[in-house]
């Protein structure tokens, strides 16, 4: 399993990035919030994201918790980004959003909230690279991992295998040294507070990878 570190709850973002450059995290997870899809507003300016991009020695894993993804995707050109992920719950223009991300040369992720029916993903699976399964309600760091996520990962994994799709599975929210041991068939774990609220990122990431 790979780790994507969420810096949402980090006190000094750039300092955190510099520290993460010396760890085994594979990606830096950036939670973009518009104050509409979720109540908070975070990382919603290009300046903030490009400062991170300029300091990070890891690829960015962008998680758009916004009502209008296209508006944000348009600003993400020329960055060291692996995945741009938006939410299936935006409902509108999903195909157009997928094409837009691809046209910018990035891999496409779709995220799903804990209570959304998994079948909503089916029409888009053939066109995407990543499924980001939320293990908390999106919007805040430091929440508790929802136990029904385990069943949802299994169902989603079955859909992928049955149809022979080449899609990575990522899980986001409440992951720590205990909850990570419950994750099977997961390619990437997004971890925030457990890493960024510690004074030794390396030790925490090594523990997660054990
Ligand atoms: C929640 C965000 C997460 C969050 C994870 O809405 O999408 O990426 O930062 O943080 P922890 O690991 O603290 O739950
Ligand atoms: Zn996230």
- Residue 107 CB contacts under 8 Å (≥ 6 apart), including other chains: 82, 83, 84, 101, 129, 130
Q: Which ligand ends up closest to the CA of 109?
A: 2
Each residue's pLDDT expressed in tens, for the chain with a length of 210 residues: 999 999 999 999 999 999 999 999 999 999 999 999 999 999 989 999 999 999 999 999 999 999 999 999 999 999 999 999 999 999 999 999 999 999 999 999 999 999 999 999 999 999 999 999 999 999 999 999 999 999 999 999 999 999 999 999 999 999 999 999 999 999 999 999 999 999 999 999 999 999
Query: What CATH number corresponds to the domain at position 142?
Result: 3.20.20.70
> Over the stretch 179-202, which tens digit does the pLDDT of each residue have?
999 999 999 999 999 999 999 999
Catalytic residues: 31, 172
40-68 pLDDT, tens digit per residue, is 999 989 999 999 999 999 999 999 999 99
Q: Say if ligand 1 is within 6 A of residue 7 CB.
A: no
Task: Give the residue numbers spanning the domain of 100.
Answer: 2-209
From ligand 1's centre to the CA of 137, what distance in Å? 9
Total domain count, the chain:
1
Count of Cβ atoms closer than 10 Å to residue 100 Cβ: 19
């Amino acid at each position: 399993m790979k780790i994507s570190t969420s810096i949402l709850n980090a006190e000094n973002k750039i300092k955190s990035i510099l520290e993460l450059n010396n760890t085994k995290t594979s990606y830096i997870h950036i939670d973009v919030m518009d104050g509409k899809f979720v109540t908070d507003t975070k990382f919603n300016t290009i300046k903030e994201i490009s400062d991170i991009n300029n300091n990070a020695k890891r690829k960015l894993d962008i998680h758009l918790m916004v009502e209008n993804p296209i508006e944000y995707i348009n600003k993400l050109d020329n960055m060291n980004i692996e995945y741009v992920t938006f939410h299936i719950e935006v409902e509108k223009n999903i195909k157009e959003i997928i094409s837009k991300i691809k046209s910018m040369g990035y891999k496409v992720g779709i995220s799903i909230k804990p209570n959304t029916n998994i079948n909503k993903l089916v029409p888009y699976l053939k066109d995407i690279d990543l499924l980001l399964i939320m293990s908390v309600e999106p919007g805040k760091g430091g929440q508790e991992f929802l136990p029904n996520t385990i069943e949802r990962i299994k169902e989603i994994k079955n859909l992928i295998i049955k149809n022979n799709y080449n899609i990575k599975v990522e899980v986001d929210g409440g992951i720590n040294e205990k909850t990570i041991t419950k994750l099977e068939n997961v390619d990437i774990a997004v971890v925030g507070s457990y890493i960024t609220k510690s004074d030794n990122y390396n030790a925490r990431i090594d523990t997660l990878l054990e």
